[in-house]
Amino acid sequence: MKILVVNCGSSSLKYQLFDMTDESVLAKGLVERIGIEGARIKHTKTGMDAVIRNTEISNHKVAFKVVVEALLDDSHGALKSLDELSAVGHRVVHAGEKYAGSVMITQDVIDALEECVPLAPLHNPANLMGIYAVTEALPNIPQVGVFDTAFHQTMPGYAYMYGVPYHYYEKYKVRRYGFHGTSHFYVSRRAAEILGKPVESLNIVTCHMGNGSSIAAVKGGKSVDTSMGFSPLPGVIMGTRSGDVDPLLVSFLSDQEGIDNKAMSHVLNKESGLLGISGVSSDLRDIEEAADAGNQRARLAEDMLYYGVRKYIGSYAAAMGGMDVLVFTAGIGENSGRAREGICTGLEFMGVKLDLEKNNVRGKERIISTDDSRVKVLVVPTDEELVIARDTKKIAMDRN
Ligand code: AMP
Instruction: Supply the pLDDT for residue 397.
Output: 86
Q: What would the pLDDT profile of 111-170 be if each residue is shown by its tens digit? A: 999 999 998 888 999 999 999 999 999 999 999 999 999 999 999 999 999 999 999 999
CA of 274 to the centre of ligand 1 (A): 12
User: Which of 111, 148, 260, 398 does the annotation list as catalytic?
Assistant: 148
Spatial distance between the Cα atoms of 160 and 227, rounded to a whole number of angstroms: 10
pLDDT at 349 over 80: yes
Q: How many CB atoms lie within 10 A of CB 264?
A: 16
Spatial distance between the Cα atoms of 324 and 221, rounded to a whole number of angstroms: 12
> Has 40 been labeled as part of a binding site?
no
Give, using CA atoms, the residue closest to atom 8 of ligand 1: 331
Mean pLDDT across 99-113: 96
Q: What would the pLDDT profile of 164-192 be if each residue is shown by its tens digit? A: 999 999 999 999 999 999 999 999 999 99
Q: Partners of 15 in the beta sheet?
A: 6, 29
Mean pLDDT across 54-58: 95
> Has 334 been labeled as part of a binding site?
yes
Mean pLDDT across 284-293: 98
The DSSP bridge pattern shows strands 213-219 and 143-147 to be unpaired
pLDDT at 399 over 90: no
Choice from 332, 343, 364, 380 to test ligand 1 binding pocket (greatest atom count within 8 A of CB): 332
Spatial distance between the Cα atoms of 111 and 115, rounded to a whole number of angstroms: 6
> Has 335 been labeled as part of a binding site?
yes
Amino acid at 332: I
Give, using CA atoms, the residue closest to atom 4 of ligand 1: 331
Spatial distance between the Cα atoms of 124 and 335, rounded to a whole number of angstroms: 29
> Has 211 been labeled as part of a binding site?
yes
Instruction: Supply the pLDDT for residue 84.
Output: 96
Q: Which CATH superfamily is domain 2-147 in?
A: ATPase, nucleotide binding domain (3.30.420.40)
Spatial distance between the Cα atoms of 178 and 175, rounded to a whole number of angstroms: 9
- Ligand 1: nearest atom to the Cα of 288: 21
pLDDT at 50 over 70: yes
Angstrom distances, CA of residue 383 to CA of 5, 339, 392, 394: 12, 21, 14, 17
CA of 282 to the centre of ligand 1 (A): 9
Q: What would the pLDDT profile of 227-275 be if each residue is shown by its tens digit? A: 999 999 999 999 999 999 999 999 999 999 999 999 999 999 999 999 9
Nearest CA to 231 among 246, 223, 243? 243
Q: How many CB atoms lie within 10 A of CB 164?
A: 11
3-state DSSP helix/strand/coil % of the chain, to nearest 5: 40, 20, 40
pLDDT at 393 over 90: yes
Give, using CA atoms, the residue closest to atom 19 of ligand 1: 335
Q: Catalytic annotation on 148?
A: yes
Angstrom distances, CA of residue 246 to CA of 19, 128, 235, 251: 48, 33, 12, 10
CB 243 within 8 A of CB 236: yes
Domain ranges across the chain: 2-147, 196-384
CA of 256 to the centre of ligand 1 (A): 34
> Has 32 been labeled as part of a binding site?
no
- Ligand 1: nearest atom to the Cα of 282: 10
Tell me the torsion sign for CA atoms 275, 281, 283, 288.
negative
CA of 141 to the centre of ligand 1 (A): 36
Nearest CA to 151 among 125, 195, 183? 183
Q: Which CATH superfamily is domain 196-384 in?
A: ATPase, nucleotide binding domain (3.30.420.40)
Residues with CB under 6 A from ligand 1: 210-211, 239, 283-285, 330-332, 335-336
Q: Partners of 306 in the beta sheet?
A: none
Q: What is the 3-state secondary structure (H, E, C) of 15-27?
A: EEEEECCCCEEEE
DSSP annotation of 34 reads T
User: Is residue 400 very low, low, confident or very high in pLDDT (cuts 50, 70, 90)?
Assistant: low
Do the domains spanning 2-147 and 196-384 agree at the CATH topology level?
Answer: yes
CA of 336 to the centre of ligand 1 (A): 8
Mean pLDDT across 44-51: 97
